[in-house]
Amino acid sequence: MANQLKLSGPTKFGDLKKRLVFLLGALIVFRIGAHIPVPGVDAAALAKLYESASSGILGMLNMFSGGSLERFSIFAIGIMPYISASIIVQLASEILPSLKALKKEGEAGRKTITKYTRYGTVLLAIMQSFGVATFVFQQNIVVVSQLEFFISTVVCLVTGTMFLMWLGEQITERGVGNGISLIITAGIAAGVPSGIIQLITLTNQGAMSMFTAVSLVVGVILLIYIVVYFESAQRKIPVQYAKRQLGNRVIQSQNTHMPFKLNMAGVIPPIFASSIILFPSTLLSWFGSVDTNSWIQKAIGMLQHGQPIYILLFATTIVFFCYFYTALVFSPKEMAENLKKSGAFVPGIRPGVQTSKYLENVVLRLTLFGALYITIICLIPEFLTSVLNIPFYLGGTSLLILVVVTMDFSTQIDAYKVTQQYEHLIKRSDMKSLTHK
């Protein structure tokens, strides 16, 4: 028994290590897949095509796919069809009574909604892969027959998206953190070294002044500091527990607080907003006319980065999804009922309906400031790109995702350590009680 107590110490974080190793292995698989090309395309011609349009829609799509679009790999359309399907299903679950009822059925309802999301992912992936195949074929860089190219491209891209969806679910279940967010973050992080190299190259060649390069680096560091500061900000609502009697014990009244984050929606709003804007603009670019005076080409131009229409749509959709997602994850009525059942109350506020209204007002005000903060962070690089005339894509969304997901990942690691230590102490106390017996 003594040997068991000695051996339990070093292995108390064994499960966490296994999860981290699984996460690392899954991300390595993702990066390997990002370098496996779809057959039938001239790689050199594709590289020239991407280089000529990397600062627009293709640059943002390539960022979300982790560089897969640039190589036209099996992960070229990335996880975006799954994100788009999730948006559609979540919106439908607030409108359609049948889906509303499913949400209230617990685990069984959640599995059914997940199944619908997967079906939607397959449908959107087929549409997007067919659009990608059409766009690539129009560029005269395909070296096989049209039928063979379309079949192989659709099969490869749809399979790649479904594999990424499965991989994200496995990371969530067997790794640490949210799998989909970590896959997107890994794809963005993979492009950081090439961005740094490109910045140095442009400075050495004289295409960018040293002052502009230093200003860009300082601006990025400042934005990271601002994101960390606001993501750590909390509104603490005081909560008081009344004196209670449990059996023969009398529990005295206690004072504590409920922490509410300024940004309760996390990185979901900018991801959803990017997906909503990219979908129509991408379709227009795939099926657009070569004529520069056509209305399709004009619409594509208005949806490019830095354009007023794009900025207005991007800001509006971010604010909308901030409120929408916060409403999905937070229920003031349910929280007020839980406080009332546990004998707790907010000082100066009546339990029940009044508490629910008070919490709702607090969350609405926090969401307003959180939405403004996310919108500003995502739009600042858009203006910097235009003012400093940066010749490559620089996105506030990618910076926000990198910082927020990294902070969330670190928090989950710490929480997992605390849980493992707690379980370890319980096991040790049980073993000690057995030895005394």
pLDDT for 1 equals: 42
Output b/e per residue, 336-369; b: 16+ Cβ within 10 A.
beebeeeebbbeebebeeebbebbbebbeebbee
> For the residues 48-65, what does the mean pLDDT come to?
62
285 versus 229: the higher-pLDDT residue is 229
Question: 83-118, pLDDT tens digit by residue?
Answer: 888 878 887 887 888 887 887 777 788 888 888 999
Tell which wins on pLDDT, 42 or 6: 42
pLDDT for 308 beyond 70: yes
pLDDT-derived band at 2, boundaries 50, 70, 90? very low
> Is the pLDDT higher at 2 or at 277?
277
Res 243: pLDDT: 66
Report pLDDT for 303. 65
Q: Are 34 and 67 in contact (CB under 8 A)?
A: yes
359: its two tokens? 């919490």
For residues 312-337, give the mean pLDDT.
86
The domains of the chain are located at 34-174
Residue 70 has pLDDT above 80, yes or no: no
pLDDT in tens, 382-410: 777 666 666 555 567 788 888 888 888 88
